[in-house]
Amino acid sequence: MTSISRRTFLGSSALAAAALTTNPARAAAEPRAASGAPSPIRLGLASYTFRNFSRAQMIAWMKQLNLAGLNAKDTKDHLPIDPVAEAQAVSDYSSAGIQLHAAGAIYFPKDEDDDIRAKFEYCKRAGIQVIVAGDPIPAALPRIEKFVKEYGIRFAIHNHGPEDKIFPSPLDVLKAVHSMDPRMGCCIDVGHCARAGTDVVEAIHAAGPRLFDVHIKDLTDLSVKESQVAVGQGKMPVREIFEALVKIEYPGWVDLEYEVHGDDPMPGVTESYAYMRGVLAGMGYNPHA
């Protein structure tokens, strides 16, 4: 079967779920029976996954995928910076039953009040309680902390792997914020974390209550960024990650950030959620409750 026909085959959630059981090794690893216990792991979406598509298209796909949580980014018309356009986006999500739980990644390259305040106001207008921050300069962190205290919005620094000269690993984030307000913490990107040479499960335990968001993806080679695949096809220890999140009583969301096949993401996205829900079912939870 060619890769194109396989991706077409996986284009519906029903077929993607069926695909999980056609692989004996994966079926054995992820039992399909689920109890009535609601899953403590909430699966959400990073809107960058649908960066080439409009807000209306993304909302329709989120309904198809049975998703209610969104980490929105100012890409396309997902969550515009302009206040009027932003208000319309917030209204559209609310009408669709979608919760805006985080925004970002938002970048903080300046140690300046006006630049930082504008970004906190952007999130405040949308009712967002977590800023996923990309590479804030270390000199700005004390100033950012003052805004965290003023607005009551948590600040989750996103690690970006070995190419990131400031925060390659969540452990680098924790070193920078360990003595700051408890609302200064991290968003662990599991792919970038692994590529930085940091054990993802250990990073989750190290972050503990300073973990405010998780971006999940999978890699066939945990050191190679370009090896990203649908979740379940690679080497990411998904079950162990979920178990660690349950252990620390993580209250946030696990957002799929699918960065490949930007012009045709739904087959891989659908397979990723089917696999993750299979993992949760194998842990004894009802991922649909």
- pLDDT for 198: 98
pLDDT digits (tens, 9 = 90+) for 9-18: 344 343 344 3
pLDDT digits (tens, 9 = 90+) for 153-166: 999 999 999 999 99
Quick one: tokens of 203? 């990073």
Instruction: Kindly report the backbone phi and psi dihedral angles of residue 106, in degrees, each rounded to the nearest multiple of 5, phi listed first.
Output: -115, 135
pLDDT digits (tens, 9 = 90+) for 232-252: 999 999 999 999 999 999 999
pLDDT digits (tens, 9 = 90+) for 28-72: 344 444 457 999 999 999 999 999 999 999 999 999 999 999 999
- pLDDT for 81: 96
Q: What is the mean pLDDT of residues 203-213?
A: 98
Exposed/middle/buried for residue 8 (C-beta within 10 Å: 0-12, 13-18, 19+) = middle
pLDDT digits (tens, 9 = 90+) for 159-185: 999 999 999 999 999 999 999 999 999
Cα→Cα distances 9→26, 171, 272, Å: 18, 40, 14
CB 100 within 8 A of CB 127: yes
Quick one: tokens of 281? 């079912």
Assess whether pLDDT exceeds 70 at residue 24.
Answer: no
Distance from C-alpha of 79 to C-alpha of 87, rounded to nearest angstrom: 9
CATH numbers and ranges of domains, the chain: 51-282 (3.20.20.150)
Assess whether pLDDT exceeds 80 at residue 5.
Answer: no
pLDDT band at 8 (very low <50, low <70, confident <90, very high): very low
User: Which helix (DSSP H) or strand (DSSP E) does residue 243 occupy?
Assistant: helix 238-247
pLDDT digits (tens, 9 = 90+) for 71-121: 999 999 999 999 999 999 999 999 999 999 999 999 999 999 999 999 999
